[in-house]
Structure 1
Amino acid sequence: MKSNLKKTTLLLTGLMVGGKLFAQSPDTTASSYDYVKPFSGGDKLRTWSVGVHGGLLTPYTIFGTNGRQDFKNPKEQVGYGAYIKDQILPSLGIQADFLRGKVKGDNSQTSANGTVYSQYSTNINWSAALSANITLANINWRHDKPFIQPYLTVGAGTMNYTPKITTPGGQETNFKTDGKGSINEIFIPIGLGLKFDIAPGVNLDLGYQVNFVQSDNFDGYNYGSTNDRFSYAHIGLEFALGSPKKPQMATHNPVSSMRKEYLWENQQTKTALQQEIDAEKAKNDQLRNDLNTTNANLAKLTTDSDGDGVLDINDKCPNTPSGTQVDGSGCPLAKPVIVVTEEDRKVVRDAIKNLEFDLGKSTIREHSLPSLDRVANLLINRNFSLKLAGHTDNTGSKDLNMRLSKDRAESIKSYLVSKGANASRIEATGYGQTQPIASNKTAAGRQANRRVEFTLY
């Protein structure tokens, strides 16, 4: 038994190494290798393949009562074989099988006349059979390519074998005593198995086969009325023949090719439609640009962008500030010289002196308004500009002081504008506590720092 296992191990190792060598296929991606245009004919697929296998031969089978066979105790022996197959349909192949090996058993049944044999050993010199190989699951709706293909085989053939029997005394004799000792008989092989795709065009084959011999002399012992049978459990490799660029029909999934065909055609349709849409968008964009250009040219005939009273088409000095006096070409007139007199400055100083706000607020107190009215009249009559700068002491947070100084300057501006002053000539800015003019450590200093500065120009 150990010797048989050692032989089997060496045989399987050789098969696997051979599979690795044959698996060095061309550099093809899975998608291009598996795809075949639907309904393009069988010439786009590889249909012929060869296989080699090795395994164990034994009288024990899964059919019938093994205890009633001619020899009660089966002995496993090494067998090997090969086949060539033509896949005529995706699920049906015709293959020619070859098998050699040895079948052995001991402890025979006792015949009616008391004959007993200790063991038998039958050499299968050769066997040849023609079988139908039915693939059960090579179409897959979930994956591009099925990894496992279950299959069934059934066929018929002839084999040449030499049975030898051994008596309890150890004497071995040929069952047939014509000198050759070999026998030719018809047999029926029935099997099942699984094939695994390990590389493009290379499959690992695990199978089990029961061989029904059409006689009762396979074990060299005519006992009872039942024909002999034996089984063969094997592992092997199958290699697809033909161009490596073509997929093998038995493992090809036509559903995957149909799906790829649909996706490609759908993508091509989408691409064509998108190109048409993009072309129409480009035309529309061009029309829109032309229209915008025309509208812009028309607008120049009626538009005065800077509001100086001179149309853009005639304006030689565009973008003049609002309120600027211009000549007929839109260019600013020379500004008159503005002189601030001492009397003007006194009006401003009085306004600063009398200016008071509610505590912590930007509300101007009533007694400060007459002085501000005189400043407003000055701005209106003399066309002066005024800068208002609000300041605070350091009491409170910096952010609060900054907002308060800005609000107080804006409050004065709003009042002056309400009296008719030009808002564009008044600038209001808040500086918070950042520019003190006295120390914030004394009440007098803080009072001096709480101020709004008027700059007339």
Structure 2
Amino acid sequence: MKSHLIKSLPVVLAGLFAGTVAMAQEPATSTTQFRTWSIGVNAGALTPLSPLGGKNDFSNNRTNFGYGLYIKKQFTPYFSLRLDGVRGKLKGDNTEAFKSGVVNNSPVSAFETQLEYSGSLNAVVNMFNIDMFQKENALQLYTSVGAGLAGYKPTITTAAGTTAFAGGKTIRELIIPVGVGAKFKVSDGINIDLGWTINYVDADNLDGLHRGPSNDKYNYGYAGLEFALGTGKQLAFHNPVALTYDEALAAKNAANALKSDLDAQKAENAKLRSEMNDLLKDTDGDGVADKLDKCPGTPAGTVVDGSGCPLVAPKPQVTVITEEDRKVVNEAIKNLEFDLGKATIRSKSYASLNRVAGLLVEKNFSLKLAGHTDNTGSKELNLRLSKERAESVKAYLVSQGANASRIEATGYGMGQPIATNKTAAGRQQNRRVEFTLY
């Protein structure tokens, strides 16, 4: 009855609203590269019954030609709104008994209804793309539900003859269309559309006969063509799941590449540690590396010179550091450079270091070397690198004749910055070796 179908209208509208919400919650997909508007034309069979329950008013419902068109807006790959229109003719009679064997003794023996128009707004949901790992599929299944208005004129046949129902006036009733379908993409702009829609009428007068408690309904099975407007691919056949899968593969490949780079860096660091250990190895513990020690095996506690040979203790003397001495040291600090990420001293630093070595030999000064780094890399790596760089400067000064026992090399890592580490200039200042004469 009409009241039952009107009560179901809020449910239909809620379904449309839920579809719109689902559309809004869909992950953002740029539609500028897709076709989102389309028009469709179709033709098929109109039948005044439904296999999904309810009583039929006539025992023999005939199939007649119907045709329609629609305009559709695709909002996401899964959701669209479609405005449908259908016209055609519905027929039925009582020339045969019902399938149960009961003979229809209705006073109305036949009817013919001209469906002048049927317009509805439908929410269409694409249930899935056949291949979830393919970016764009050629076959798609969908369901639809909506609400609209139908206008029709029934003509009935009785024993008295054929007459127009309701005085021949056009009857207008609410309809609820529910459908399923399948689309086959022929090209970027054309699809073959196959569908079946059951239209629930909010009245029992579609066939010109009031019979039983059930409202009338009619089927429309159709085949047609859909034309996607614009340029680019069709959004309806776009598969964001496959796109996400491709992005995950790309991220995995990038991670593997980064891992390879990290492994190569670890190997380079291991090689550097091995080279530094070999360079700084001091078997007899006299403070002179084996590679520079001209008197290996010196007894413990023996004071040695820069070449590792025993040295007669000098007479105590008063250490006086002049401004000229400090100038020599400051120039060495200013010119000191290492290879990137290593403790290897660059050759441009040799000249100023040679002057510091000459100063240490001439005046027998003591020298404290303090290595510092910026905050690039781990704390442990920076602490080790600062120590190695200070030791590298000590080794070079000793190679130029300075007394190893008067040179102290210490690494402080990144714990004592003198400038900000947020800029390249600041980090450059923090990568340093400080010289302190005493």
Give the TM-score normalised by structure 2.
0.48
Give the TM-score normalised by structure 1.
0.46
Asked which structure has the greater CA Rg, the reply is 1
